[in-house]
Amino acid sequence: MSNYGREVIKVCIRMRPLLPPYEDEEIWGIDSRTSTIFTLTSSFASKLLDVSSNSSGSIREKESRLRYAETLGPQSFTFDYIYAPDSTSQQIYYEVSRPIIHRVLNGFNGTIFMYGQTTSGKTYTMLGTPDFPGILPCSIREIFQTIVKDTENEYNVWISYIEIYNEQINDLLAPGKVNLKVKEDPKQGVVIQDVKQQQVWTFDQVILLMNYGEEHRTYRETSIHEHSSRSHTLFQVYIESFPRASKGRGRIRYSCLNLVDLAGSERLNDFDTKNVTQIGEAGYINKSLFILAHVVNKLAEGKTKHIPYRDSKLTRILSQALGGNSLASIICTVSPAAMNFQQTLSTLRFASRAKTVQNTPHINEILGELANSNEIKAQLTNLQQELLELNTSKIGYETRCKFLENQLEKIQKEIHAKEEQFERMIEGNNKEREIIERLQMVIEKQEVDMENERIMINGQYQKVMEKYQEERRVRIELEKELDSHKEILGRTIKSEQQTLSRLNMLIVKSGGSPVDIPSPNFSYHPNADMNFINSLVFHIETDVSIPPNSVNEWKDVSSRLVNDYRVSLERLQDQYFNKVQTLAERLIDDQRRIQEILISHRGELRNNEGMF
């Protein structure tokens, strides 16, 4: 085995296009020149403030996103590669995966894994479609094309395909084989016990097997993705190669390519809370991704000891790719949508930490039967020397061994206790997270209810104000009408008084006593009597003879007139005051109702504040 240097994990980001009609505006932008991804904060803020727009998400959700983004300020991340929404999987394959494939063919282990929230495009990038093949088919094609062209070496290739569903390993190429165990192999490192390893010779054969495995993989329709992977999958390609001339008795290189498609992280409140299967699956997915992030964090901090690989099957299987003997690339898929802002940010933070993790890849090589005999002889001499040394210090060694065994047992117990404690902590965390998410849902609902109520109260207030305006308008019109009546009445009374004065003059002239002229305070109500008086005055003034009974008659008429004026005026005043009274009462009533609604609304607000 030769010595090799350390290599950091390569990390690339792929941003998929917006998925209409559910997703709203873009919040992330890309500068391909500098491989930077950044927030379009100003447009984000302006778009989120426009809460009345038709875009998806509740008003509360948008406001909380805005608050979150404002608190954080502009975000920007730089990676090895960043791919814009119009990039192809083939392009990513050429730049990110192909260099690894060629080194795997030379005896290095290699791992490429997809990481990102649900619906961000992991499976699309890994498997692709018939028109746009993904990383997996492109890698397999490259392997066989290279093997065919290599005239110096001979190769054997095997594949296996497993899924980790609810922390249980199931064989996708042998569907009956479930709950497989993981074990340490001195030669190959961590391996899956009893997994079906199928030898393959062509690209088509591998694709057939891949499709067969896909049929048995666990997918489910969720509220946000109709074909969502509910498990992590691991597609492994084992390659053995040796120079044709040695016929397998010289140096043999063996390597393994791991293609990992992780299930997406998701928020528990994106699920129907009554769907126990979905909630359970999401819990397992989130827990294993949490442990993966924990492992990456520890490695990123530069720690090499006590890395909690054993806390999940996923991290145990990926231990070679994370800080071990493997080349590794992580392809993080993200959504550009404002509604996925927090999940994208969390993926980018994971990616930032992952790109500082270092591995120590080396060529895996063993010696065949007729390998360099000098090397074997040298090794034999070393071993004999070691044996001699061991024999001489056998007693000390045995004592030391005993001591170490005891120590080991003690440490194992401690580890076990810590593992249990950690399990309980994670369970507690999950429960707390669930409670917080439920509380958030309750708060969200109450805020929506309060918003609706506020809109309703505004509507009612608006109506009351309109009614009040209308009644005010009617009152002003009534006052105007009354004024005009008064004016007409005044004018009429004046003209009638003049007529009656003229009549009195005639009466006095003819030796009679004058009649009382009514005061001008009374209302006028036109009637036939006035016509009669007018004709009487006309007769007198024009010396036309007046019928003898007419003088008494006009006296009656004039006193009736006075009464009529009074009654008419009083009726008019009554009507006017009644109307004004009714309007005032209605106004007071409406104001009282508005007051009551506002008081109860404030009371509820105070209750809600008290709750949270």
Ligand X SMILES: Nc1ncnc2c1ncn2[C@@H]1O[C@H](COP(=O)(O)OP(=O)(O)OP(=O)(O)O)[C@@H](O)[C@H]1O
Report the distance separating Cα 309 and Cα 329, nearest Å: 18
- The three-class DSSP label of residue 314 is helix
Nearer to ligand X, 19 or 207 (CB): 19
Of the residues 55, 119, 312, 344, which one makes contact with ligand X according to CB under 6 A: 119
Tell me the one-letter amino acid at 299: L
Report the distance separating Cα 109 and Cα 101, nearest Å: 9
Q: 240: closest CA among 261, 230, 255?
A: 255
116 annotated ligand-binding residue? yes
Residues 228 and 261: beta-carbon distance below 8 Å: no
Task: Answer yes or no whether residue 326 interacts with ligand X by CB under 6 A.
Answer: no
Q: 12: exposed, middle or buried (C-beta count within 10 Å: 0-12, 13-18, 19+)?
A: buried
* Binding-residue pattern over the window 5 to 24 for ligand X, x denoting contact by CB under 6 A: -----------xx-x-----
Task: Answer yes or no whether residue 116 interacts with ligand X by CB under 6 A.
Answer: yes
Task: Answer yes or no whether residue 343 interacts with ligand X by CB under 6 A.
Answer: no
Nearer to ligand X, 128 or 361 (CB): 128
110 annotated ligand-binding residue? no
* Binding-residue pattern over the window 157 to 186 for ligand X, x denoting contact by CB under 6 A: ------------------------------
120 annotated ligand-binding residue? yes
User: Token pair 């003229």 is at which residue?
Assistant: 502
CB of 402 to ligand X, least distance (A): 51
Tell me, by CB under 6 A, how many residues bind ligand X: 17
Residues 153 and 243: beta-carbon distance below 8 Å: yes
DSSP letter for each residue of 448-515: HHHHHHHHHHHHHHHHHHHHHHHHHHHHHHHHHHHHHHHHHHHHHHHHHHHHHHHHHHHHHHTTPPPP
Residues 120 and 334: beta-carbon distance below 8 Å: yes
Q: What is the DSSP letter of 337?
A: B
Nearer to ligand X, 228 or 359 (CB): 228
Task: Answer yes or no whether residue 228 interacts with ligand X by CB under 6 A.
Answer: yes
273 annotated ligand-binding residue? no
Report the distance separating Cα 281 and Cα 197, nearest Å: 27
Nearer to ligand X, 75 or 90 (CB): 90
Report the distance separating Cα 340 and Cα 124, nearest Å: 18
Task: Answer yes or no whether residue 461 interacts with ligand X by CB under 6 A.
Answer: no
486 annotated ligand-binding residue? no
Task: Answer yes or no whether residue 214 interacts with ligand X by CB under 6 A.
Answer: no
Among 154-162, 222-230, 384-392, 544-552, which window interacts with ligand X (CB under 6 A)? Answer: 222-230
CB of 129 to ligand X, least distance (A): 8
* Binding-residue pattern over the window 123 to 152 for ligand X, x denoting contact by CB under 6 A: xx----------------------------
CB of 267 to ligand X, least distance (A): 13
Residues from 262 through 281 that contact ligand X (CB under 6 A): 263-264
Task: Answer yes or no whether residue 308 interacts with ligand X by CB under 6 A.
Answer: no
Task: Answer yes or no whether residue 225 interacts with ligand X by CB under 6 A.
Answer: yes
511 annotated ligand-binding residue? no
Report the distance separating Cα 549 and Cα 379, nearest Å: 162
CB of 127 to ligand X, least distance (A): 8
Of the residues 57, 107, 110, 121, which one makes contact with ligand X according to CB under 6 A: 121
Nearer to ligand X, 91 or 379 (CB): 91
CB of 599 to ligand X, least distance (A): 49
Of the residues 64, 109, 118, 558, which one makes contact with ligand X according to CB under 6 A: 118
User: Taking the CA of residue 381 as centre, how many other CA atoms within 13 Å lie in the half-sphere pointing to its CB?
Assistant: 5
Nearer to ligand X, 116 or 518 (CB): 116
Q: 229: closest CA among 176, 182, 172?
A: 172
Nearer to ligand X, 281 or 564 (CB): 281
Among 121-129, 161-169, 206-214, 320-328, which window interacts with ligand X (CB under 6 A)? Answer: 121-129
Phi, psi of 6, rounded to the nearest 5 degrees = -90, 150
Q: 237 to each of 103, 199, 329, how far by Cα in Å?
A: 13, 10, 16
Q: 136: closest CA among 126, 121, 151, 146?
A: 126
CB of 78 to ligand X, least distance (A): 21
Q: Output the CA torsion sign for 234, 161, 367, 100.
A: negative
Report the distance separating Cα 148 and Cα 68, nearest Å: 55
Report the distance separating Cα 283 and Cα 277, nearest Å: 10
Task: Answer yes or no whether residue 122 interacts with ligand X by CB under 6 A.
Answer: yes
Is the preceding omega at residue 21 within 30 degrees of 0, hence cis? yes
Task: Answer yes or no whether residue 120 interacts with ligand X by CB under 6 A.
Answer: yes
Report the distance separating Cα 74 and Cα 28, nearest Å: 10
Nearer to ligand X, 90 or 492 (CB): 90
CB of 115 to ligand X, least distance (A): 9
278 annotated ligand-binding residue? no
The separation between CA 346 and the C-alpha centre of its own chain, rounded to angstroms, equals: 13
Nearer to ligand X, 228 or 568 (CB): 228
Q: 447: exposed, middle or buried (C-beta count within 10 Å: 0-12, 13-18, 19+)?
A: middle
189 annotated ligand-binding residue? no
Nearer to ligand X, 19 or 371 (CB): 19
Task: Answer yes or no whether residue 232 interacts with ligand X by CB under 6 A.
Answer: no
Q: 286 to each of 278, 293, 414, how far by Cα in Å?
A: 12, 10, 26
Among 31-39, 225-233, 364-372, 373-381, which window interacts with ligand X (CB under 6 A)? Answer: 225-233
Nearer to ligand X, 137 or 324 (CB): 137
CB of 87 to ligand X, least distance (A): 7
Binding residue numbers for ATP: 116-123
Residues that bind ligand X (CB under 6 A): 16-17, 19, 116, 118-124, 225, 228-229, 263-264, 333
